[in-house]
């Protein structure tokens, strides 16, 4: 029997199941309980987006509110991970990573290598990404390419509730540091999600839709947008293959290359800014490995090279839309 | 706004020293108990209030110890402000700061050489003891900013500054408003190694280490110049068996140790009560000297372990009244009022 | 506070090991055989040893770019360290970390660190882990006067206080952050003064005096172990070498280091005291000096004759697993 839940509920369930499974899993972040030290109720928020609601009641001290102190608590999560815990830290918006980037890219990412293989840092940093909420430049970016750039980090960009649950469970069980990017426009979408625990392995792309004419590679919310575009194009007789790599690092290039060898065309849809983006990265790698199979230029559908704007008119222009995807694909033929 | 010019026969410039210990209130007792932290900013505020009082009295220069950045920097910066420029100028001694107690000793020595006519001390018992070692006959005004503060007074700096300023400008009779304090002198192998203004304590410890006394198990003998039940520190132990006033011409010796049958509970440091055994006690007369009963240990002066000694060392303690000449602020201000110094004869 | 003969010998041996290690690295660096950047700890030994003598392998420390001393004090093996500094395959970090990243998690040494102020947040995590693991362990972050001005340090002091973590923050104030004086860069007289703002005890201790450091460290660590919370201890001390090897140190006075070595050498002070007090004799110390000299000699020769990593090592150890 189908059980329809939201992306938010799927993430919550994954956390709950993993915390039940392994006492080493702890959670922390700003207002992940909400209400610490205040006179009203505890678990008032259960996370800025309500993703950790109810964990406090179940696990008590294993979930911790932090002061607004990203450097300290992200660093503490990293430190606790290297000391045998499995912390899941929530950092409200990926835009805030600037203040604690050192703890992620110089510390967590490099311990294993710098220490000659002897360290493991099983930390998960959950964060929200993406535009669409009219939240302007400091709360709307899709900065996952920055983390993808760093050897030692794994980066996950789930595209649906089912994906989010399985990938988060894998992230918690994974022994490397993971940046887990939850798109804000996905929070309330619903789908059938199994109640039981399951893990989706990293580095294995999901072929969301089969098609022989053009390969679309998309991340997070862009998978949904690409599916809309693919449905439209199907009516015109263009069959798109839509691939969700799930993780930007590791990246399942093999599945992408195989698809391109079949279709001869590649469109990469990426909400991040275009320079040094996933779109640019995949374009380059496919050109390198499957140049002979390409029958046309690789198309990148991305946000433009500007910060996310505030005004609805501008923001709508900023986010890649199904229309832009279909235009890009039509331009190939 | 200031008083009439000081007596003409006084040689100028009239200088007053201000010795503020930047390290006071920072020792191990912060971890052991809830001893207070006296913030640098408040020490600076106190100094600025002192400068105001000295200016009113017509003192020409204040002399201070430099330090590694905190107090001296703030006071120098203050001197550049409009408010600071209205007050007397501050000179800093040319002391090479090593962040050791010698900084205080050397700086006071330089102030004495510069001819200061009074010195105001901000610190605890330890700081006052260091200044007392160097300041000789120069009258001292005491202000408590340390941890163990039996010797200095808890008082508003403005008034202490006023008393010191009046003394420095020779408006008051020194003998009327100052008193010579008692001291305990420690000699090791014939050489003076230190003095205590309040208490000297013999401990069976091995090391000076972090200096401040905070454990009592090893304490064996306590000698005090005075013992007030209002005092904090080791002298409080003595005050529980036989109080001694500052003006009395004797001190007290008390045997301590776990085997003593009488137990006392005493506040040996802020926030820190200790229970310990107290044995025989006897009064010590001025001019008397004695040797410790144990032949190896550490001598704490005013609550700080200072001197390590062993079997081969010949240790001698003595009591006299050759300690610093301390300005009695109450008496000084009372005399100033009585003689009308603050009345009508204003510039 | 009393120390028995075994403890005194241990303290002297550790401090001597650090001094000899650093003096030798200084010499060897000058020959050009040691690659990269090296920052030496000589002069500051009493701090690392005074703290680490109270710690077990379960207790964690985080160090700085000037980390050799903390490593040795925490029990990291000297041959592995020296090989690492020479970039050899048998180095403690397989030649991938070097001087600035020496770590040994089994010994509770969470790494020297190339980023100033990176240690305190990590040590909050170590303290947090200890709380969950209920092993009574503590976590100690060593920082310099430079890092004391970093936001990460201030944030960690706050977080450790808010979460009541078993953490001790040790500010080793050696007077210089690189070439800038701490009297200029630190806005208050004592770094320890900042503790008050975070609701924890702040203590200033003479970092040249092993006994003073040992006593204060012992109490701060005991307090943390018993659930009393964090503290900030400032060791006032000096470094005998430059910021890095190759630093001409023109920002220091001509005879500054020479004078410091005469008046404020923690090893000399320690030796003078234990000899003067008759607690150890000259033979004790001479034996240790000789033994340590041999150890360091061996470590250098061993490192020089060890093989360098091979090309296959470049890509190992990036991830635990990466498909």
Asked casually if ipTM beats, i.e. exceeds, 0.85, the reply is yes
Determine the Cα–Cα distance for residues B241 and C52; give it in Å rounded to an integer.
Answer: 42
Alpha-carbon gap: C201 to the closest alpha carbon of chain A (Å):
20
Q: What own/partner pairs with CB < 8 Å and gap ≥ 24 does C308-316 have?
A: C308/C87, C308/C88, C308/C89, C308/C95, C309/C87, C309/C88, C309/C89, C309/C94, C309/C95, C309/C96, C310/C89, C313/C89, C313/C94, C313/C95, C313/C96, C316/A117
Candidates 1.10.645.10, 3.40.50.970, 2.70.170.10, 3.40.30.10; CATH matching C5-310: 3.40.50.970
Q: Which residues of C touch A154 (CB under 8 A)?
A: 319, 322
Size of interface B-C (CB pairs under 8 A): 98
Chain centroid offset of residue A159 CA: 8
- Among A67, A116, A117, select the one facing C162 at the smallest CB separation: A67
Alpha-carbon gap: B238 to the closest alpha carbon of chain C (Å):
23
Contact of B319 with B286, CB cutoff 8 Å: yes
Q: What are phi and psi of A138, to 5 degrees?
A: -95, 0
- Which residue of chain C is at minimal alpha-carbon distance from B22? C189
Q: Which residues of A touch C323 (CB under 8 A)?
A: 201-204, 250, 252
The whole-number average pLDDT for the span A229-257 is: 98
The DSSP bridge partners found for residue A301 are A269
- pLDDT value for B230: 87
Q: What CA–CA distances, in Å, run from B345 to B167, B341, C269? A: 17, 7, 59
The whole-number average pLDDT for the span C264-269 is: 96
C254 is written with which tokens?
A: 């001509």
pLDDT at C109 over 80: yes
The whole-number average pLDDT for the span A247-259 is: 98
Q: Are C156 and A75 an interchain contact pair (Cβ–Cβ within 8 Å)?
A: yes
Q: Is A69 in the C-facing interface, judged by CB distances under 8 Å?
A: yes
Burial level of A118, CB count in 10 A (0-12/13-18/19+)?
A: middle
* Average model confidence (pLDDT) across chain B: 92
Q: What own/partner pairs with CB < 8 Å and gap ≥ 24 does C302-307 have?
A: C302/C79, C302/C82, C302/C83, C303/C79, C303/C82, C303/C83, C303/C85, C303/C86, C303/C88, C303/C91, C304/C33, C304/C86, C306/C83, C306/C86, C306/C88, C306/C89, C306/C90, C306/C91, C307/C88, C307/C89, C307/C90
- Among C203, C209, C279, select the one facing B30 at the smallest CB separation: C203
Q: Which residues of A touch C36 (CB under 8 A)?
A: none
The whole-number average pLDDT for the span C287-308 is: 98
Determine the Cα–Cα distance for residues B318 and B214; give it in Å rounded to an integer.
Answer: 25
- pLDDT value for B346: 59
- pLDDT value for B293: 93
Active site residue A149: no
- Among A77, A120, A151, select the one facing C125 at the smallest CB separation: A77
Q: B3: which DSSP letter?
A: B
Q: Which residues of C touch A114 (CB under 8 A)?
A: 93, 96-97, 101, 103, 111
Name which of C208, C219, C212 is nearest C42 in CA terms: C208
- pLDDT value for C61: 98
Token pair 């001409």 in the structure block, residue: C248
Q: Is A76 in the C-facing interface, judged by CB distances under 8 Å?
A: yes
Q: Are C118 and A151 an interchain contact pair (Cβ–Cβ within 8 Å)?
A: no
The whole-number average pLDDT for the span A69-84 is: 98
Which residue would you say has higher pLDDT here, A13 or B153? A13
- pLDDT value for A72: 97
CATH number of B15-181+324-338: 3.40.1280
Determine the Cα–Cα distance for residues C156 and B266; give it in Å rounded to an integer.
Answer: 37
Angle between helices C119-133 and A70-82 (to 10 degrees): 50
Name which of A278, C223, C81, A305 is nearest B32 in CA terms: C223
Q: Give contacts of C 45-104 with A, CB under 8 A.
A: 60, 62, 91-97, 101, 103-104
B214 is written with which tokens?
A: 């905070």
Q: Are B308 and C263 an interchain contact pair (Cβ–Cβ within 8 Å)?
A: no
Q: Is C209 in the B-facing interface, judged by CB distances under 8 Å?
A: yes
Q: Which of the four pLDDT bands, split at 50, 70 and 90, describes residue A1? A: low
* Model confidence pLDDT, tens digit, residues C24-83: 999 999 999 999 999 999 999 999 999 999 999 999 999 999 999 999 999 999 999 999
- pLDDT value for C177: 94
- Among C105, C132, C316, select the one facing A85 at the smallest CB separation: C132
Q: Which of the four pLDDT bands, split at 50, 70 and 90, describes residue B68? A: confident
What is the full DSSP assignment across B172-233?
S-HHHHEEEPPEEEEEETTEEEEEESSEEEEE--S--TT-B----TTEEEEEES-B-TT--S
* Model confidence pLDDT, tens digit, residues A134-164: 999 999 999 999 999 999 999 999 999 999 9
pLDDT at B69 over 70: no
Classify domain B183-320 by CATH architecture.
Answer: Sandwich (2.60)
With residues binned 3-state (H G I as helix, E B as strand, rest as coil), the percentages for chain B, rounded to 5, are 25, 30, 45
Determine the Cα–Cα distance for residues B63 and B75; give it in Å rounded to an integer.
Answer: 11
Say which residues have a Cβ less than 8 Å from residue B237's Cβ, sequence separation at least 6: B222, B254, B256, B264, B266, B268, B276, B278
pLDDT at C121 over 60: yes
Determine the Cα–Cα distance for residues B24 and B36; give it in Å rounded to an integer.
Answer: 10
pLDDT at A125 over 60: yes
Determine the Cα–Cα distance for residues A162 and A153; give it in Å rounded to an integer.
Answer: 23
Query: HSE of C272 in the Cβ direction (CA atoms, 13 Å)?
Result: 12
Those chains having 3 or more beta-carbon pairs within 8 angstroms of chain B are C
* Model confidence pLDDT, tens digit, residues C124-157: 999 999 999 999 999 999 999 999 999 999 999 9
Q: Is A102 in the C-facing interface, judged by CB distances under 8 Å?
A: yes
- pLDDT value for B206: 87
Angle between helices C5-30 and C45-52 (to 10 degrees): 140
The whole-number average pLDDT for the span A101-116 is: 98
B134 is written with which tokens?
A: 């160097």
pLDDT at C189 over 80: yes
- Among B30, B40, B210, select the one facing C189 at the smallest CB separation: B40
pLDDT at B347 over 60: no
Q: Which of the four pLDDT bands, split at 50, 70 and 90, describes residue B345? A: low
Say which residues have a Cβ less than 8 Å from residue A15's Cβ, sequence separation at least 6: A27, A51, A52, A55, A88, A168, A172
Instruction: Map out the domains of chain B as residue ranges.
Output: 15-181+324-338, 183-320
The whole-number average pLDDT for the span A216-222 is: 98
Contact of A224 with A45, CB cutoff 8 Å: no
Q: Which of the four pLDDT bands, split at 50, 70 and 90, describes residue C309? A: very high
Those chains having 3 or more beta-carbon pairs within 8 angstroms of chain A are C
- Which residue of chain C is at minimal alpha-carbon distance from B74? C188
Q: Are B28 and C278 an interchain contact pair (Cβ–Cβ within 8 Å)?
A: no
The DSSP bridge partners found for residue A29 are A65, A90
Q: What own/partner pairs with CB < 8 Å and gap ≥ 24 does C246-250 have?
A: C246/C29, C247/C179
Name which of A244, A163, A167, A164 is nearest A199 in CA terms: A167
Instruction: Sketch out chain A's domains with CATH numbers.
Output: 4-192 (3.40.50.970), 206-330 (3.40.50.920)
pLDDT at B344 over 90: no
Determine the Cα–Cα distance for residues B255 and B241; give it in Å rounded to an integer.
Answer: 11
Name which of C65, C148, C147, C151 is nearest C111 in CA terms: C65
Q: Which of A138, A139, A183, A305 is catalytic?
A: A139
Tally the residues of chain A: 333
A238 is written with which tokens?
A: 């263009």
Token pair 């610490």 in the structure block, residue: A36
CA-derived radius of gyration, chain A: 20
Q: What CA–CA distances, in Å, run from B121 to A160, B108, B181, C181, C314? A: 72, 10, 15, 28, 64
| Interface B:C, ≥3 CB–CB pairs < 8 Å | yes
Q: Is A202 in the C-facing interface, judged by CB distances under 8 Å?
A: yes
| Interface A:C, ≥3 CB–CB pairs < 8 Å | yes
Determine the Cα–Cα distance for residues B181 and B224; give it in Å rounded to an integer.
Answer: 12
The whole-number average pLDDT for the span B273-299 is: 95
Q: Are C318 and A112 an interchain contact pair (Cβ–Cβ within 8 Å)?
A: yes
C155 is written with which tokens?
A: 């944030």
Q: What is the 3-state secondary structure (H, E, C) of A165-186?
A: HHHHHHHHHCCCCEEEEEEHHH
- pLDDT value for C138: 98
C114 is written with which tokens?
A: 């190339």
Alpha-carbon gap: C266 to the closest alpha carbon of chain B (Å):
13
| Interface A:B, ≥3 CB–CB pairs < 8 Å | no
């Amino acid at each position: 029997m189908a059980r329809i839940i939201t992306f938010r509920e799927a993430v919550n369930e994954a956390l709950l199941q993993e915390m039940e499974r392994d006492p080493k899993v702890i959670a922390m972040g700003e207002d992940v309980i909400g209400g610490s030290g205040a006179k009203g109720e505890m678990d008032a928020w259960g996370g800025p987006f309500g993703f950790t609601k109810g964990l406090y009641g179940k696990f008590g001290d294993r979930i911790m509110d932090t002061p607004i102190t990203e450097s300290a608590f992200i660093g503490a999560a990293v430190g606790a991970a290297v000391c045998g815990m499995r912390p899941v830290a929530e950092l409200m918006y990926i835009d805030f990573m600037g203040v604690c980037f050192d703890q992620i890219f110089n510390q967590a990412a490099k311990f294993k290598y710098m220490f000659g293989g002897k360290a493991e840092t099983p930390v998960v940093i959950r964060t929200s990404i993406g535009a669409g909420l009219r939240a302007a430049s400091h709360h709307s970016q899709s900065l996952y390419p920055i983390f993808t750039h760093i050897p030692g980090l794994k980066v996950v960009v789930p595209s649906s509730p089912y994906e989010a649950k399985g990938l988060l469970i894998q992230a918690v069980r994974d022994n490397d540091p993971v940046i887990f990017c939850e798109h804000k426009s996905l929070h309330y979408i619903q789908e059938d999600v199994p109640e039981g625990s399951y893990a989706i392995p990293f580095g294995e792309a999901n072929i969301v839709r089969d098609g022989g004419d053009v390969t679309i590679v998309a991340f997070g919310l862009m998978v949904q947008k690409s599916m809309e575009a693919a449905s439209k194009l199907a009516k015109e007789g263009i069959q798109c293959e839509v691939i969700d790599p799930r993780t930007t690092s590791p990246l399942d290039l093999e599945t992408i290359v195989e698809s391109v060898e079949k279709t001869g065309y590649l469109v990469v849809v990426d909400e991040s800014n275009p320079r040094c983006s996933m779109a640019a990265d995949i374009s380059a790698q496919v050109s390198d490995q499957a140049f002979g199979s390409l029958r046309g230029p690789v198309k990148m559908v991305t946000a433009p090279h500007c910060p996310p704007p505030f005004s609805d008119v501008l923001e709508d222009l900023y986010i890649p839309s199904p229309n832009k995807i279909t235009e890009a694909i039509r331009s190939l033929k | 706004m200031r008083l009439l010019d000081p007596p003409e026969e006084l040689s100028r410039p009239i200088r007053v020293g201000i010795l503020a210990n930047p390290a006071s209130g920072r020792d191990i007792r912060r971890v052991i108990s809830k001893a207070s932290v006296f913030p640098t900013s408040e020490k600076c505020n106190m100094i600025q209030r002192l400068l105001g009082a000295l200016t009113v009295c017509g003192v020409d220069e204040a002399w201070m110890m430099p330090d590694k950045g905190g107090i001296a920097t703030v006071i120098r910066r203050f001197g550049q402000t409009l408010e600071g420029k209205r007050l007397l100028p501050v000179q800093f001694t040319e002391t090479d700061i090593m962040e050791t107690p010698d900084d205080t000793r050397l700086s006071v020595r330089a102030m004495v050489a510069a001819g200061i006519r009074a010195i105001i001390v901000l610190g605890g018992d330890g700081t006052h003891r260091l200044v007392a070692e160097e300041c000789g006959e120069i009258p001292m005004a005491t202000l408590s900013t340390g941890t163990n503060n039996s010797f200095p007074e808890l008082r508003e700096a403005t008034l202490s500054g006023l008393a010191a300023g009046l003394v420095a400008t020779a408006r008051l009779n020194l003998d009327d408003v100052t008193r010579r304090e008692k001291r305990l002198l420690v000699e090791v192998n014939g050489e003076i190694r230190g003095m205590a203004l309040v208490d000297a304590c013999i401990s069976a410890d091995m090391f000076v280490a972090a200096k401040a006394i905070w454990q009592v198990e090893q304490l064996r003998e306590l000698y005090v110049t005075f013992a007030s039940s209002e005092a904090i520190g080791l002298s409080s132990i003595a005050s529980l068996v036989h109080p001694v006033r500052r003006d009395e011409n004797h001190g007290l010796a008390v045997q301590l140790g776990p085997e003593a049958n009488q137990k006392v509970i005493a506040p040996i440091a802020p926030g820190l009560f200790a229970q310990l055994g107290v044995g025989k006690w006897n009064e010590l007369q001025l001019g008397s000297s004695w040797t410790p009963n144990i032949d190896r240990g550490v001598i704490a002066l005013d609550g700080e372990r200072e001197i390590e000694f062993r079997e081969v060392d010949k240790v001698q303690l003595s009591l006299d009244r050759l300690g610093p000449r301390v300005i009695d602020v109450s008496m000084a201000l009372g005399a100033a009022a009585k003689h009308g110094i603050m009345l009508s004869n204003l510039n | 506070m009393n120390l028995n003969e075994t403890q005194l010998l241990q303290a002297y041996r550790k401090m001597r090991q650090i001094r000899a290690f650093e003096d030798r690295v200084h010499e060897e660096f000058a020959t050009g055989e040691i690659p990269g950047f090296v920052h030496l700890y000589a002069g500051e030994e009493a701090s690392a040893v005074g703290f680490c003598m109270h710690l077990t392998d379960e207790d964690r420390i985080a160090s700085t770019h000037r980390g050799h001393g903390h490593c040795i004090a925490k029990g990291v093996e000297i041959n592995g360290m020296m090989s690492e500094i020479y970039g050899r395959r048998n180095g403690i970090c397989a030649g991938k970390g070097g001087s600035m990243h020496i770590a040994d998690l089994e010994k509770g040494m969470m790494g020297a660190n190339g980023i100033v102020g990176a240690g305190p947040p990590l040590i909050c995590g170590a303290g947090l882990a200890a709380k969950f693991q209920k092993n009574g362990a503590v976590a100690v972050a060593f920082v310099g006067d430079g890092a004391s001005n970093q936001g990460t340090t201030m944030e960690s002091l706050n977080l450790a206080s808010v979460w009541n973590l078993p953490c001790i923050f040790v500010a080793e104030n050696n007077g210089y952050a690189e070439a800038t004086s701490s009297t200029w860069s630190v806005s208050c007289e004592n770094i320890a003064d900042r503790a008050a703002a975070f609701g924890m005890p702040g203590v200033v201790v003479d970092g040249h005096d092993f006994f003073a450091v040992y006593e204060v460290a012992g109490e701060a660590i005991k307090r943390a172990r018993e659930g009393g919370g964090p503290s900030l201890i400032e060791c006032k001390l000096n470094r005998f070498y430059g910021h890095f090897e190759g630093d001409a140190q023109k920002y220091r006075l001509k005879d500054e280091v020479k004078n410091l070595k005469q008046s404020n050498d923690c090893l000399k002070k320690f030796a003078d005291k234990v000899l003067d007090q008759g607690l150890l004799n000259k033979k004790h110390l001479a034996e240790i000096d000789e033994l340590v000299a041999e150890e360091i000699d061996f470590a250098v020769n061993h490192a020089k004759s060890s093989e360098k990593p091979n090309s296959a090592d470049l890509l190992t150890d990036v991830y635990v697993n990466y498909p």
